[in-house]
Amino acid sequence: MYWLFNSSIGRKFIMSISGIFLILFLLFHMSMNLTLLFSEEVYDTICELLGANWYAIAGTLVLAGGMFVHFAYASLLTLQNLKARGSDKYLSSNKTQTEWAAKNMYVLGLIIVLGLIIHLWNFWYKMQFAELIHSPNAIIEGSGLVKGLFSSPYYVIVYLVWLGALWLHLTHGVWSAFQTIGLNGKTWYPRLKVISNIIATLIVLGFAVVPVYFLLIKLTS
């Protein structure tokens, strides 16, 4: 187990596994958001189920742990890359890999984290956390909160910029994760690039359609 925590390959593996876990969460969160386009009641029911319940709290802690591990190992690997000047670089050991996203994964990650902090402040803090501390201002019906925030063009623009950074991060991150866990070679390389682009695009479009939808309703009403 020493290699898993003390070698660059082990650190990449842990980062890849935690990244795949976070992608699964994004797919769940995206699916939850999309229900709002069809039924506010269903969305509010999901929000209530994910309130101050033991399973929701446990899931939140696991998610926070996965995010911390992913960011911590990204920081370690970035520092390692700054010191290394050989083939041990995380961003690209292949000289032909010159994509902008591949060279700026850590910067993109920082943008995503900042956007996540804003998102947590506007949603999690006002809903699950407020319910945990028994705040009289706790919001149970999340549909009203979502529609209110996404009626602001400024918030929607910031949200879409955040999604742009997420798309760039995922297009390279998913591909890199697949390679790290063993799917590589000339045959798999183009396939993984296509799969990564599809996954990233589906996630980002799934998240983007909700704010755009409610902003258009606000602007046309």
Model pLDDT for residues 102-147, shown as the tens digit of each residue: 677 778 888 888 888 888 888 888 888 888 888 887 777 888 889 8
Contact present, 174 and 145 (Cβ < 8 Å): no
Query: For residue 11, what are the contacts with CB-CB under 8 A and spacing of at least 6?
Result: 5, 73, 76, 77, 80
Cβ-Cβ contacts under 8 Å for 197 (sequence gap 6 or more): 171
Tens-place pLDDT, residues 18-77? 888 888 888 988 999 999 999 999 999 988 888 777 788 888 888 888 878 887 777 777
- Tell me, what's the pLDDT at 5? 57
The pLDDT value given to residue 190: 76
Q: Quick check: is 136 in a domain?
A: yes
Q: What is the CATH number of the domain that holds 190?
A: 1.20.1300
Tokens of 119: 């998102």
Instruction: Retrieve residue 136's tokens.
Output: 């009289």
Asked, for residue 173, whether it belongs to a domain, the answer is yes
pLDDT attached to residue 84: 63
pLDDT at 95 over 50: no
Cα separation, 65 vs 70, whole angstroms: 9
2 assigned to some structural domain: no
pTM score, whole prediction: 0.79
For the chain, what is the domain count?
A: 1
Domain presence at residue 80: yes
In a domain, 116, yes or no: yes
Residue 1 lies in a domain: no
Query: What band does 6 get if pLDDT is binned at 50, 70 and 90?
Result: low
Residue range(s) defining the domain that contains residue 52? 7-90+97-220
Let me know if residue 170 belongs to a domain: yes
Residues written for the chain: 221
Give the pLDDT score at 204. Answer: 94
Establish if 78 belongs to a structural domain.
yes
Q: How far apart, in whole angstroms, are the C-alpha atoms of residue 23 and residue 58?
A: 18
120-129 long-range Cβ contacts below 8 angstroms, 24+ apart: 122/149, 122/155, 124/60, 127/47, 127/51, 128/50, 128/51, 128/52, 128/56, 128/57, 128/60
